[in-house]
């Protein structure tokens, strides 16, 4: 039987034929595609013709097309709908992909061809895009060890392969901990919870076959439980399980993995001539140096900590007023903060959530994309990988732009968090290839027949991930290596965080925040209270984020710690972390940093990008308002369509005319730089 992963896909817009693909198809498809890619690399490296841009650089761009197609489907499924078979395949594929990558970057003949082109670059008649791709290709080879020789070259290959193994183990351990823990709720445990939360707990229990409502470790469920449960004992139990992910002992404990990862990353950096991994990693980012990152984070840390300390005092008073002696604990913060928000802003989540329907928020995101960039979204009848996922065709002026897939509900087979990925990237080298873009979220699934209701934070997450999707959909470059989100890590969050601002535009909420039962728009008074409270508890949110970013940075900027948990505690003590606030991502479940290299030494990038997104939205405000057509056109031309076609700061200056300072960020978060 023909392997469906290796045939032409006669499906709408060549979406993967998920109904025909079984887990048994992946390994033979991987083997065949890997063999084809290796043959192509050998052909390029051994070509007797003198190197030119087409037979070397462009040929490299196309060398692993089949492999990329197989793995884009596989890794999307492995993250969003894991099975034991897929987990086993992931453990097998990851080190082999690392080995394959090393084979390419350490192929002396291949690198010699690239180096020859680099040396002759001033004599070559290259376009700007070709010059950029040549530069990035050579840089990636050098940073991957192409100039190493002998034992150092061999050791680096071993290190990278081992890191791939450890990243996969970290991810799967975390998924197992999140999937296996739940806390049943009896009638006493349900008392005091709003109806929407009870419904989500019942739906989670039904999915698990638990025989009743449960709290799971899905952020969209456990955070709400910590906000609303009056049962301090249950909040404590749930919170401790949540923060203990990856640190419970046994086969899923990630602490030993973290120690080995940090040691190997340091070794990798030193083999390449860098003092530490942070120096290596940040060399190609906008920040440039660890000190620049530290300076930004500490500039925001001081006012954020002061705001959080003031809030902690107010919440402690509320705790004591309830007759509870002692200090405010991490499992108390969200509960008392929610009560304080209701009192100070007259804003009750139970009153707010019916106006934030998932379906209407999707419509809102689509509407904003239409008004800004002329995009239209039509439901697409296509067989996808899970019943909860759905697709839309994206067009502009009748022209196909992309396929967009949304997968919004939490389930045990899906890793935590929210992300944007692609099953196909935009490029023009092999024809006018348009992308297939996927947004994955973990919103609490409602009971059958009930509408899905979001928290305001959930709605922001939806807009955030859709901002990434727009970066992919509007990409307009020739080469896949620089398309879409293929940009500096501390620039990649700019489009996503910028798009969040449109959720706060009053006219958007007035149109799309409609009541799930009555269909009535959100009352003006409630809308005003919601917008007035957007910076509420910002001290807490900023502190938990910056603490994680600083731990990540300091882990990698200096000798690798023998005991990462002791080092984490030391760092938190150095910055005087408020005791009632935990890191947003503690080390044993810090998937951004330890599931792979993506955000290692780079978790700060959300805040680095936020400096720009605050300034970029201010540009719309200074012009004709949030839907100013000239600013939208500049945003698309210089950022969203440009991919990695130039350095990030160059692209931003083309859009805005200057680089911003931190002031707009502090203003947007409602923080002032005072103790």
Tell me the C-alpha to C-alpha distance, in Å, between residue 330 and each of 120, 300, 312, 492, 582.
Answer: 60, 22, 10, 31, 7
Q: What values do phi and psi take at 394, rounded to 5?
A: -105, 125
State the DSSP string of 350-401. HHHGGG-BHHHHHHHHHHHHHHHH--EEEEE----SSTTEEEEEEEETTEEE
What SS3 state is found at 332?
helix
CA neighbor of 249 nearest in space, from 19, 645, 565, 647: 565
Six-digit token string for 503 = 């959720």
Q: Are residues 225 and 237 in contact, defined by beta-carbon separation less than 8 angstroms?
A: no
CB within 8 Å of 218: residues ≥ 6 apart: 178, 204, 410, 416, 442, 444
Residues recorded for the chain:
675
Six-digit token string for 450 = 């009930």
Residue 192's CB: how many other CB atoms inside 10 A? 11
Q: What values do phi and psi take at 256, rounded to 5?
A: -65, -35
Q: Which residues are catalytically annotated?
A: 465
Strand partners, 215: 183
Six-digit token string for 243 = 């923060």
The position carrying tokens 């895009």 is 129
Strand partners, 376: 395
CB within 8 Å of 52: residues ≥ 6 apart: 117
Q: Are residues 652 and 534 in contact, defined by beta-carbon separation less than 8 angstroms?
A: no
CA neighbor of 557 nearest in space, from 238, 286, 289, 162: 289
Q: What's the number of CA atoms in the CB half-sphere (13 Å) around residue 36?
A: 16
Report the C-alpha dihedral over residues 265, 240, 418, 64, rounded to 10 degrees: 30
Angle between helices 330-345 and 290-321 (to 10 degrees): 80
Q: Are residues 403 and 377 in contact, defined by beta-carbon separation less than 8 angstroms?
A: no
Q: What's the CA gap between 86 and 244, in Å, rounded?
A: 25
Q: What values do phi and psi take at 400, rounded to 5?
A: -65, 130
């Amino acid at each position: 039987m023909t392997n469906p992963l290796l045939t032409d896909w006669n499906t709408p817009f060549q979406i993967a034929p998920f109904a025909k693909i079984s887990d048994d198809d992946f390994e033979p498809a991987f083997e065949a595609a890997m063999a084809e890619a290796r043959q192509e690399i050998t052909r390029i490296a051994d070509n007797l013709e003198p190197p030119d841009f087409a037979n070397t650089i462009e040929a490299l761009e196309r060398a692993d097309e089949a492999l990329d197609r197989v793995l884009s489907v596989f890794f999307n499924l492995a993250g969003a709908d894991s099975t034991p078979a897929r987990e086993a395949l992931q453990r097998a594929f990851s080190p082999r992909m690392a080995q394959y990558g090393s084979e390419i970057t350490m192929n002396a003949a291949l690198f010699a061809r690239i180096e020859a082109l680099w040396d002759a670059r001033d004599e070559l008649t290259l376009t700007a895009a070709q010059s950029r791709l040549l530069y990035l290709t050579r840089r990636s080879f050098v940073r991957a060890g192409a100039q190493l020789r002998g034992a150092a070259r061999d050791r680096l290959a071993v290190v990278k392969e081992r890191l791939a193994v450890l990243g996969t183990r970290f991810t799967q351990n975390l998924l197992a901990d999140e999937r296996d823990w739940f806390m049943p709720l009896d009638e006493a445990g349900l008392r005091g919870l709003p109806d929407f939360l009870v419904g989500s707990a019942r739906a989670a229990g039904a999915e698990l076959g638990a025989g009743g409502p449960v709290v799971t470790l899905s952020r969209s469920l456990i955070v709400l439980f910590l906000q609303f449960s009056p049962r301090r004992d249950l909040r404590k139990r749930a919170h401790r399980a949540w923060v203990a992910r990856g640190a419970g002992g046994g086969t899923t404990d990630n602490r030993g993995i973290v120690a080995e990862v940090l040691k190997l990353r340091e070794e990798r950096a030193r083999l390449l001539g860098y003092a530490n991994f942070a120096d290596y990693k940040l060399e190609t980012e906008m920040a440039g140096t660890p000190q620049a990152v530290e300076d930004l984070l500490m500039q925001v840390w001081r006012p954020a900590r002061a705001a959080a300390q003031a809030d902690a005092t107010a919440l402690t008073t509320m705790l004591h007023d309830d007759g509870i002696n002692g200090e405010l604990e991490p499992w108390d913060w969200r509960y008392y903060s929610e009560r304080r928000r209701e009192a100070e802003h007259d804003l009750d989540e139970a009153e707010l959530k019916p106006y934030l329907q998932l379906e209407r928020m999707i419509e809102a995101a689509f509407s904003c994309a239409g008004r800004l960039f002329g995009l239209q979204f039509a439901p697409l009848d296509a067989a996808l990988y899970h019943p909860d996922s759905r697709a839309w065709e994206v067009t502009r002026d009748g022209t196909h732009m992309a396929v967009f897939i949304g997968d919004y509900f939490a389930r045990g087979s899906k890793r935590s968090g929210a992300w944007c990925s692609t099953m196909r990237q935009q490029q023009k080298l092999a024809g006018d290839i348009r992308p297939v873009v996927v947004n994955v979220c973990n919103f609490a699934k409602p009971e059958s027949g009930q509408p899905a209701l979001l928290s305001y934070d959930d709605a922001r997450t939806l807009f955030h991930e859709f901002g990434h999707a727009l970066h992919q959909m509007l990409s307009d470059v020739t080469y896949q290596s620089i398309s879409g989100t293929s940009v500096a890590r501390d620039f990649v969050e700019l489009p996503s965080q910028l798009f969040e601002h449109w959720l706060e535009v009053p006219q958007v909420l007035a149109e799309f925040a409609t009541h799930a039962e009555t269909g009535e728009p959100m009352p003006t008074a409630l809308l005003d209270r919601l917008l007035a409270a957007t910076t509420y508890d910002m001290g807490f949110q900023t502190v938990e984020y910056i603490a994680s970013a600083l731990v990540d940075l300091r882990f990698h900027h200096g000798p690798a710690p023998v005991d990462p948990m002791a080092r984490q505690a030391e760092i938190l003590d150095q910055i005087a972390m408020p005791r009632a606030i935990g890191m947003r991502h503690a080390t044993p479940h810090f998937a951004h940093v330890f599931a792979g290299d993506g955000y290692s030494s780079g978790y700060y990038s959300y805040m680095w990008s936020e400096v720009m997104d605050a300034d970029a939205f201010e540009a719309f405000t200074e012009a004709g308002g949030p839907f100013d057509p000239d600013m939208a056109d500049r945003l698309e031309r210089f950022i969203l369509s440009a991919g990695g076609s130039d350095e990030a700061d160059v692209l931003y200056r083309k859009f805005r005319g200057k680089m911003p300072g931190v002031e707009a960020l502090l203003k947007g978060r409602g923080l002032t730089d005072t103790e």
